[in-house]
Each structure stands twice: as structure tokens, then as C-alpha cells.
Structure 1
Amino acid sequence: MLALWLVSSVAALAQSEEPPEGGPMPADPTAVPIDGGASLLLAAGVGLGVRKLRRKAPQT
């Protein structure tokens, strides 16, 4: 476990915050694309809510 921790910490130190010379600028780290995952979670929540409402409703 110690060896795994040492190897991962060395890899983390190898990443610099500045872009390489002449390379493209990295994207803004706070710009998180939430459109795909959030819409799926919202659809799943709506589906579960409708399912619970249908099961609780008295059937005629």
C-alpha cells in the first residue's frame, strides 16, 4: 500500500499548473459540464417520483 501511495504521489507532482511553452491554454478548472449528467439525474428522479405516485394511488 505504501508503494502505491508513493507512486501516485510522484505522478501527482509531475503535473504543473502552467501550460507548456507554445501549447494551448488549459480550460478553466471551474467550468464543469453538468448538462449531460444533471439531465439524466433529473429524468431518473422524475421517473422514480411518478412510479411512487402510481403505486400509492388507489386503483379503481
Structure 2
Amino acid sequence: MNKVITILVVLFSIQGVFAADPALPPPTPAPPPGLPIDGGLVVLFVFALISGYYLSKKYISTKKGSL
């Protein structure tokens, strides 16, 4: 009698495993931000050249004036 009950329990537990819903796939990661890394890099470089030229001219003119 114990063997029959054991076999029935095993068979019903296996049926529950096969009847389970399949696992859902993992969620997709968030998309990357839409901003480019190099946006406006040329404008920044030109601004740096202009401001460097202006500041160096200002420094040289004040240095010559103090002599």
C-alpha cells in the first residue's frame, strides 16, 4: 500500500511540474540616452581658441604695461 501511495504522489508531483507556466524572459534593459557625446565639440573647440587668443593678448598687453 505504501508503494502505491508513493508512486501516486510522485506521478502527481511530476504532472504539476509539466503543467507549470514557462518562465518569462528577463526584461529588456533601458535604451541608452539619445544624446551624442561629441555634440557641439567643434563649437567648443573654436570658442576655446578664441578665448585663449583673447586672454593671451590681454595678459601680454598688461604685462608690457607694467614694465
- Choose 1 or 2 for highest CA Rg: 2
TM range (shorter): 0.3 to 0.5
TM-score normalised per structure 1? 0.44
TM-score normalised per structure 2? 0.40
